[in-house]
C-alpha cells in the first residue's frame, strides 16, 4: 500500500509513563511525515490533548474494550497501533469484536514478557496469555534483537513478522529542573510505582559509600508516601529527594555521577539510552532481556543479577570508583523511528491483503 496512512492507537492514561510519551512522540512524527492519526482515549485526558498536534483526530471513549472496538470500527483506520504490553487486551478485543473488519494490528513489545516479578500462578497465566498474541498481532515491533528473539520464543509470532525499531529520542524540552543540585549526585528517573522498585534503590543507597552525593529521584506516583516514610525511617531526610515529575532533565542526566535503575521489569528504557548518550554510567537490575545489549560495554556501568540491596550498593560503589564512559551519541535522523514504523505498517497491510 502506498500513499498516506490513517493510523489509530489507544492511550488509556497519560501520567508521564514512557509507553504513552513514546506514542505521543510517534503521533507527532507520523503527522509530520504526512499521515493521519486518530487517538482513542478517555474524554478527560486533557494533558494528552495538550501534548498532541491540534489536527489529530480525537476519539473519546469511556474505557471499555468493547467501546474501543466500536470506536475503531467507526474511525476505519488503515492500521491499529498497539503501543505497549498493557494495551494488548484491547487489541485482542478489537480483533475479536470486529472480526474481518478489524484493521491490521501492529503491537510494540514495551516491557519484559517473562514478568518474573509476578507470583508463580500469575506467571503461568501470563505465559499462556502472551502465547496467544500471534492470534491478533499481524506484526510485532521489538526494540532490540534480544527482545525480538524473546518475542519469537514466547508469543508464537514467527521471526519474519517481527521488526526491530528503536524508540524515538524523547527530547525533554524546557530549561533544567528547578531544583538546586549538588556538584555530584546519584540520579533516578521513573514513576513512583511498584514496577520501579525505588524502595530497593533507597535501601541500597543507604548501604553504599557515596560520599556526600545525594540521591535524587524524579517522578510521581502512588508510592510517594511509602517512599517518604522509608526515607525518614532510614534517616535519609536531606540526602534522598523526591522532587516529582519534571520536564527538562537532559542536563540533569548529563551532570549525574550515575543513573540508578532498580525496576522489576522494563522494556528498553529510554532513560538508560539517554544516560549512555551523554556519558553517564548506569547501575541497573536485570529487568529486561534488552539490558544486556544496552550495558554490553563494562565501562558503561553495572548490570546486576541480584536484587539484594547490598549487591546494588556494591554496584553503585564500583561505578563511582570507575572512569566515566564516553558518550554514545544520539540518532542523527529524528524521524527515523517514525518512518520505520510506517514501513512496518505497510508490511502489515500488504500481509493482510496477501500482497
Tell me the per-residue pLDDT of 300-321, one tens digit each, with 9 for 90 and over: 999 998 999 999 999 999 999 9
CA–CA gap between residue 324 and residue 104 (Å, rounded): 46
Residue 190 and residue 156 share a domain: no
Helix or strand holding residue 66 (H, E): helix 65-75
Residue 200 and residue 151 share a domain: no
120-168 pLDDT, tens digit per residue, is 888 888 888 888 898 899 999 999 899 999 999 999 899 999 999 988 8
Provide the grid cell at 343.
514501513
| Contact assessment for residue 111 and residue 82, using Cβ atoms and an 8 Å cutoff | no
Provide the grid cell at 108.
510494540
The total of structural domains in the chain comes to 2
Whose grid coordinates read 510517594?
Answer: 224
Residue 147 and residue 47 share a domain: yes
Residue 222: its pLDDT value, please? 92
Residue 26: its pLDDT value, please? 92
252-300 pLDDT, tens digit per residue, is 899 999 999 999 988 888 889 889 989 999 999 998 888 888 888 888 9
Residue 270: its pLDDT value, please? 85
Instruction: Indicate whether 288 belongs to any domain.
Output: yes
37-61 pLDDT, tens digit per residue, is 988 876 545 555 456 666 777 776 6
Instruction: Indicate whether 122 belongs to any domain.
Output: yes
Residue 289 and residue 159 share a domain: no
Instruction: Indicate whether 275 belongs to any domain.
Output: yes
Residue 12: its pLDDT value, please? 73
Helix, strand or coil, per DSSP, at residue 69: helix
Any idea what the CATH number is for the domain that residue 233 is in?
3.40.50.2000
Provide the grid cell at 33.
511525515
Residue 265: its pLDDT value, please? 87
Residue 244 and residue 163 share a domain: no
Better-scored residue on pLDDT, 229 or 87: 229
Residue 58 and residue 92 share a domain: yes
Residue 64: its pLDDT value, please? 54
Crossing angle between the packed helical segments 88-98 and 65-75, to the nearest 10 degrees: 60
Residue 257 and residue 119 share a domain: no
215-249 pLDDT, tens digit per residue, is 999 988 899 999 999 999 999 999 999 988 777 78
C-alpha to C-alpha distances, 201 to 60, 179, 205, nearest whole angstrom: 38, 20, 6
Residue 175: its pLDDT value, please? 40
Instruction: Indicate whether 175 belongs to any domain.
Output: no
Instruction: Concatenate the DSSP letters of all residues of 271-311 into one string.
Output: HHHHHHHHT--EEEE--STTHHHHT-SGGGEEEES---HHH
Residues of the chain with pLDDT > 90, as a percent, come to: 48
Q: Domain containing 94: what range?
A: 6-169+334-352
**Arithmetic mean of pLDDT, 191-210:** 96
Instruction: Indicate whether 177 belongs to any domain.
Output: no
CA–CA gap between residue 20 and residue 65 (Å, rounded): 18
Sign of CA dihedral 238, 240, 246, 252: positive
Examine the pLDDT at 178 and tell me if it is beyond 70. Answer: no
Residue 303 and residue 164 share a domain: no
Identify the CA nearest to 295 among candidates 314, 315, 311, 309. Answer: 315
Residue 75: its pLDDT value, please? 84
**Arithmetic mean of pLDDT, 82-102:** 87
Identify the CA nearest to 13 among candidates 178, 154, 191, 182. Answer: 191
Residue 153 and residue 254 share a domain: no
**Arithmetic mean of pLDDT, 87-116:** 88
Residue 314 and residue 270 share a domain: yes
| Contact assessment for residue 350 and residue 342, using Cβ atoms and an 8 Å cutoff | no
Instruction: Indicate whether 176 belongs to any domain.
Output: no
Residue 55 and residue 156 share a domain: yes
Residue 10 and residue 155 share a domain: yes
Amino acid at each position: 500500500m502506498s500513499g498516506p496512512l490513517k493510523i489509530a492507537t489507544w492511550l488509556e492514561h497519560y501520567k508521564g509513563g514512557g509507553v504513552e510519551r513514546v506514542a505521543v512522540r510517534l503521533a507527532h512524527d507520523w503527522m509530520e511525515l504526512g499521515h493521519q492519526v486518530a487517538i482513542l482515549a478517555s474524554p478527560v485526558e486533557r494533558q494528552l490533548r495538550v501534548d498532541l498536534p491540534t489536527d489529530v483526530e480525537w476519539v473519546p471513549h469511556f474505557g471499555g474494550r468493547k467501546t474501543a472496538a466500536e470506536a475503531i470500527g467507526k474511525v476505519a483506520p488503515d492500521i491499529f497501533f498497539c503501543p505497549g504490553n498493557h494495551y494488548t487486551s484491547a487489541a485482542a478485543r478489537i480483533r475479536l469484536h470486529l472480526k474481518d473488519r478489524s484493521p491490521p494490528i501492529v503491537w510494540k513489545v514495551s516491557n519484559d514478557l517473562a514478568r518474573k516479578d509476578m507470583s508463580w500462578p500469575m506467571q503461568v497465566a501470563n505465559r499462556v496469555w502472551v502465547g496467544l498474541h500471534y492470534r491478533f498481532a499481524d506484526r510485532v515491533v521489538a526494540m532490540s534483537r534480544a527482545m525480538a528473539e524473546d518475542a519469537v520464543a514466547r508469543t508464537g509470532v514467527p521471526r519474519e513478522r517481527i521488526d526491530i525499531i528503536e524508540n524515538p529520542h524523547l527530547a525533554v524540552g524546557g530549561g533544567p529542573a528547578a531544583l538546586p543540585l549538588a556538584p555530584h549526585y546519584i540520579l533516578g528517573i521513573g514513576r513512583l510505582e511498584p514496577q520501579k522498585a525505588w524502595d530497593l534503590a533507597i535501601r541500597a543507597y543507604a548501604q553504599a559509600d557515596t560520599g556526600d552525593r545525594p540521591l535524587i529521584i524524579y517522578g510521581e506516583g502512588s508510592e510517594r508516601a511509602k517512599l517518604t516514610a522509608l526515607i525518614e525511617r532510614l534517616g535519609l531526610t536531606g540526602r534522598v529527594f523526591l522532587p516529582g515529575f519534571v520536564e527538562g532533565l537532559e542536563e540533569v542526566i548529563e551532570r549525574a555521577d550515575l543513573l540508578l535503575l532498580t525496576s522489576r521489569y522494563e522494556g528498553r528504557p529510554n532513560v538508560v539510552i539517554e544516560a549512555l548518550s551523554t556519558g553517564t554510567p548506569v547501575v541497573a537490575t536485570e529487568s529486561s532481556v534488552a539490558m544486556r545489549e544496552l550495558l554490553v560495554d563494562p565501562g558503561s556501568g553495572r548490570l546486576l543479577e541480584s536484587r539484594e540491596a547490598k549487591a546494588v550498593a556494591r554496584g553503585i560503589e564500583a561505578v563511582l570508583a570507575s572512569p566515566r564512559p564516553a558518550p554514545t551519541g544520539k540518532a542523527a535522523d529524528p524521524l527515523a523511528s517514525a518512518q520505520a514504523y510506517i514501513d512496518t505498517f505497510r508490511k502489515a497491510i500488504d500481509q493482510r491483503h496477501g500482497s
